[in-house]
Structure 1
Amino acid sequence: MTLLVPAAVFAILYVVSRRRDARRLRNGVFLVGALGALLLAGVLELAAASALLQLVVVLGFGLAGVLILVLAVFLVANGVTMLRLEGRSLGNLLSLLAGLALVALPTAAVLLVFLPARTALPSGVVTVLVSLGVLVFLACLYAAATFAAFGLYSLVYSRYRHTDRPDALVVLGSGLIRGEVPPLLRSRLDRALAIYRSVPVGTRRPILVPSGGQGSDEPRPEGEAMAEYLLAQGVDPADVHPETASTSTRENLVLSREVQHATGRGGSTLVVTNDYHVLRAALLARAVGSDAQVVGSPTAAYYVPSAFLREYVAIMVEHKRLNAVAIAAVVAFVALLTVVSFLPV
């Protein structure tokens, strides 16, 4: 039961950190740490209780392995669907690659750790191969832990209750199709419209800032097409102030804030995007010094796995220094153990 202590510590850190600012990735780390320690404590208690419960634990691990295999098959199938419906691109390949890696990397780790000792290879080679297997296993564990922190907290944050009466609603752009608003972007605009229309009659409504510049494959700026859609839905033209110069989410947030201030609406801001993009948009809002919170709109089910994986990769790249330090520490630790194993006893 000693693992209940770190579980409690992580839980307290999570509550304190989230109250200070819900837009922190460390909140997800603390949450996963608390749940992971609690789960491990429960497993160890069950294993120590009786032989029957030990069998239950073993069966539980077996079931987890089956579920991982099912997940891998699902991701591969989803990757094929993405390529068929969305076209060939690296982003659309992510779920397919993740599904293959989910099977290949753990299998490689197990083979490297257990197979060399059963061969006639020199002991030094066996040690190096086993070390490599341990390194692959730890890399898988790191990827799983960081993705769990991102994925779980994305779901938690997307259900965070924000102000119902913001001074400005910023709608983040996404790609146009032949210059028109596609379903993915329309869902963001419709969510913003629902919030805009929920303000009671006689109360000042928030301004709407559709934000997005013109991509190289687009005939016009996204903000312009989005504004046109909002006006077609009956929004007061005086409430629509498009931003048409941004080329990234970071620029969406910075330039939209300038538009907001230019209209004299410097109060609370609510950013609208798709649900898979909510956490990263919130992290970027905090990074640029904005107090904006973020809400999400629904996304087609087949699109969600690849979209979440893209967001995870983007966040890992944005925190590349921290990840590089963590990975370097793991490599150094395994390398040290390998060197020590070669020393005479």
Structure 2
Amino acid sequence: MLSLIVFCFFLLFFYRFVFKQKTSNRTHLIFLSLLWFSLSISSTLILIEALHHSYFFLVPLSFFILFYFFYRQKKAQLINGMWFNLFLASFFIYLIYHMVLTKSWIGTIFIIALGLLGILYAFFGSLSLILLLYWNAIIVWRRERFALGNLLTLILALFLTFLLIYNHFIVEILPEWLAILFAFVPLSFSYFAIVFLNFLTISLIYQLNQPPFKQDFIIVLGAGLLNGEKVTPLLASRVDRALEFYSHQKKQAEKGPKLIFSGGQGPDEKISEAQAMKNYALQKGIPEEDIILEDQSTTTFENMKFSKQIISKSQIAQPKTIFSSNNYHIFRAAIFAQMNQLNADGIAAKTARYFLPNAFLREFIAMVTMNKKRHLVFLLCLSFCLAILAFVSHINVY
């Protein structure tokens, strides 16, 4: 009964907090609601545990504080995803501990819900993931142009199929020493799966950024053009997201930010991506004096580098800047902004759902490439350890 009263108290407090927030962004409101609910649950659990003179909650709380500290220091870094995932894992263990210790109804409900999810995953698991990847690959094949970058879900599905066959059939007929050597494949895959999970987690968290409507510049990152002169639906979504922010700020602050359209002219394009975006924005009724072109860049790194040079020439002492790109891309773009000492957060434009798995995989490969030395060191250490184990196993046989 006490836990119910405490929970309702915190629920009411955070309910009032959420609905005092003035926001037109539905995603932001959902996030605030989830935050309010989570804080209500967590506060109740901590209070009940404290009454039992137990303080195991300090473990997940410590991981969350570490996440918050590093995220506040620098939002766009992979370690933030690791800290948050450690928080989630320790919080799950804490729920089990809490249920055993207090036998409270809140912990029991959470464990039952998470248990059902675990049963569903165990029942469907890898096979369902493989089938979904094949299904997604077919959709992308039909709707997008044929290119290696659009075949990533298919490649991953084929690799997972091989792993499934290997783990259930092939490994059983191999000599022990050879099976140890071949363990390099599933172990290295598991390593990159963990890295991908950290990347995906922080990418999703980063999308919750809600910059205030007090910006001086919005950088819109370029992408390929249709027929060499028109914005594609993908690029249009980036421009539309920037224009949406521009309009909201103009209503609230009566002064819109300058729009920096950033993107050079590719070898197969008739005009620069910046010019194509400008043409699109003018058709939407944006005044030409609020548009600045950056038409020299060929990469996201250069988008940030050359846009910063334009911003540095302004007469504003400490210009406030954000950038617009697709939701799967803004985390890596934020890293490039940091590399150029450009203090700018990203706002996310929506992407077609069928394209997201392929897009996130492509971003992840780009992230791995950026940190290839670190991953190469791990893989070399892993292969060295497995080689030693295989050698020892082979000697013991004889």
Same fold (TM over 0.5): yes
More deviation in 97-106 or 138-147?
Answer: 97-106
Equivalent position of 1:260 in the other structure: 311
* Matching of residue 298 in structure 1 with residue 350 in structure 2: yes
Provide the residue aligned with 2:241 in structure 1.
191
Corresponding residue of 1:161: 210
2:231 aligns with 181
In structure 1, the partner of 2:86 is 33
- Structure 1: how far apart are the matches of 2:382 and 2:170? 18
Alignment of 1:69-80 (within 5 A): 69-80=127-138
| CA distance, structure 2, for counterparts of residue 197 and residue 131 of structure 1 | 60
Partners in 1 of 2:197 and 2:246 — Cα distance? Answer: 34
What does residue 323 of structure 1 align with? 375
The reply on whether 1:81 has 2:169 as its aligned counterpart is no
Assess, with a 3 A threshold, how the Cα gap between structure 1 residues 93 and 191 changes in structure 2: closer, same or farther.
Answer: same
**Pair 234,93 (structure 1): closer, same or farther in 2 beyond 3 Å:** same
1:269 matches 2:327: no
Equivalent residues of 1:112, 1:132 under 8 A apart: no
Tell me, in whole angstroms, the C-alpha distance in 1 between the residues paired with 2:175 and 2:196: 32
Q: Distance in 1 between matches of 2:236 and 2:221?
A: 11
Query: Aligned runs of 1:189-268 on 2, under 5 Å?
Result: 189-201=239-251, 203-265=254-316, 267-268=319-320
Q: Distance in 1 between matches of 2:87 and 2:119?
A: 20
Match of 2:330 in 1: 278
**Residue pair 1:188, 1:272 contacting (<8 A) in 2 also:** yes
How far has the Cα of 1:275 moved from its partner?
Answer: 0.6
The question of whether the paired residues in 1 share the 8 Å contact of 2:301 and 2:337 is answered with yes
Indicate how the Cα distance of structure 1 residues 219 and 127 shifts in structure 2: closer, same or farther if over 3 A, else same.
same
**Which residue in 1 is equivalent to 2:161?**
103
How many angstroms apart in 1 are the aligned matches of 2:123 and 2:158? Answer: 15
Q: Deviation at 1:200? A: 4.2
Matches of 1:46 and 1:106 in 2, distance apart?
A: 36
The residue type equivalent to 1:105 in the other structure is L
Counterpart contact for 2:177–2:393, Cα < 8 Å: no
Give the direction of change, closer, same or farther, for the CA distance of 1:156–1:285 in structure 2 (3 Å limit): same
Distance in 2 between the 1:169 and 1:305 partners?
A: 27
When the two chains are superposed, the root-mean-square deviation of aligned CA atoms in Å is 3.1
1:38 deviates by: 4.2
Q: 1:138 aligns with which of 177, 180, 187?
A: 187
Could you tell me which runs of 5 or more consecutive residues in structure 2 were left unpaired when the two chains were aligned. Answer: 1-53, 101-110
Distance 1:58 1:236, change over 3 A: closer
In the alignment, the residues of structure 2 paired with residue 59 and residue 300 of structure 1 have an alpha-carbon distance, to the nearest angstrom, of 27
8 Å contact kept, 2:177–2:394: no
Q: Under a length normalisation based on structure 2, what TM-score does the superposition of the two structures give? A: 0.75
Superimposed CA distance per residue, residues 193-216 of structure 1 (whole angstroms, 9 cap, x where no aligned partner): 111111245633210001101112
Q: What amino acid maps onto 1:315 in structure 2?
A: M
Q: Which amino acid aligns with 1:275?
A: N
**Alignment partners' CA distance in 2, 1:103 and 1:45:** 39
Is the alpha carbon distance of 1:59 and 1:95 closer, same or farther for their aligned partners in structure 2, counting shifts above 3 Å? closer
1:118-166 deviation line (CA, Å, top 9, x unaligned): xxxxxxx712222134322211211211111111211111012223221
From the superposition, tell whether residues 135 and 215 of structure 1 become closer, same or farther in structure 2 (CA, over 3 Å).
Answer: same
Task: Name the SS for the 1:217 alignment partner.
Answer: coil
> Cα offset for 1:336?
2.9
- Of the structure 1 ranges 18-27 and 63-72, higher mean CA displacement relative to structure 2 is found in 63-72
Alignment partners' CA distance in 1, 2:162 and 2:197: 19
| Equivalent pair of 2:305/2:340 in contact (CA under 8 Å) | yes
Stretch deviating more after TM superposition (257-266 or 136-145): 257-266
Q: Distance in 1 between matches of 2:255 and 2:69?
A: 34
| Paired residue secondary structure (2:295) | coil
Q: In the aligned structure 1, how far is the partner of 2:211 from the partner of 2:385?
A: 44
Asked if residue 152 in structure 1 is aligned to residue 196 in structure 2, the reply is: no
Once structures 1 and 2 are overlaid, which stretch shifts more, 316-325 or 36-45? 36-45
1:289-327 alpha-carbon deviations (Å, 9 max, x no partner): 211111111111121111111101110111101111122
Equivalent pair of 1:82/1:92 in contact (CA under 8 Å): yes
Q: Which moved more, 1:214-223 or 1:331-340?
A: 331-340
Alpha carbons of structure 1 residues 128 and 164: separation in structure 2 relative to 1, 3 Å:
farther
2:203 and 2:331 in contact (8 A); partners too = yes
Tell whether 2:69 aligns with 1:16. Answer: yes
Query: One-letter code of the match for 2:315?
Result: G
**Residue equivalent to 2:4:** none
Question: Could you tell me which amino acid in structure 2 is paired with residue 141 of structure 1?
Answer: S
Match of 1:172 in 2: 221
